[in-house]
Amino acid sequence: MRFTKDHEWVAVEGDTATVGITQYAADQLGDVVFVEVPDAGKTLSKGDSFAVVESVKAASDVYAPVAGEVVEGNAELGSAPETVNADPEGKGWFAKIRLNDASEVEGLMDRAAYDAYIASL
């Protein structure tokens, strides 16, 4: 897994990246009550807002950590948004994105760097 300073994670398999929010982000949001994920076919540039997550505290955009085409949005989150709190770095993923450039992932933080980053907040 790789991580962004905006608290998204990326896990790559082949040419596809699965993207979600980190445990830290889920904890900061509190109880998630609504999630809007992108539809397959949507083209994303790195940094584009591609999903929305709403909690009892706030609504937040989720930004694409990589560029590519959405191949699947996690439709399960529509009826079970609490999955983001229960398993944010697993079943609570937001989208699968076919990468335009796999090297973009290399510029993201690894777990140790991300843990050091959140410890500094």
Two structure tokens written together for 72: 């699947």
Give CA–CA dist 88/26, Å, rounded: 7
pLDDT of residue 30: 95
Q: What are phi and psi of 45, to 5 degrees?
A: -100, 155
Q: Can you give the pTM of this predicted structure?
A: 0.95
Give CA–CA dist 27/22, Å, rounded: 9
pLDDT tens profile 14-48: 999 999 999 999 999 999 999 999 999 999 999 99
pLDDT tens profile 40-93: 999 999 999 999 999 999 999 999 999 999 999 999 999 999 999 999 999 999
Partners of 109 in beta bridges? 3
Kindly report the CATH class assigned to 2-119: mainly beta
The pLDDT-based confidence of 1 (bands split at 50, 70, 90) is very high
pLDDT of residue 105: 95
> How many residues can be counted in the chain?
121
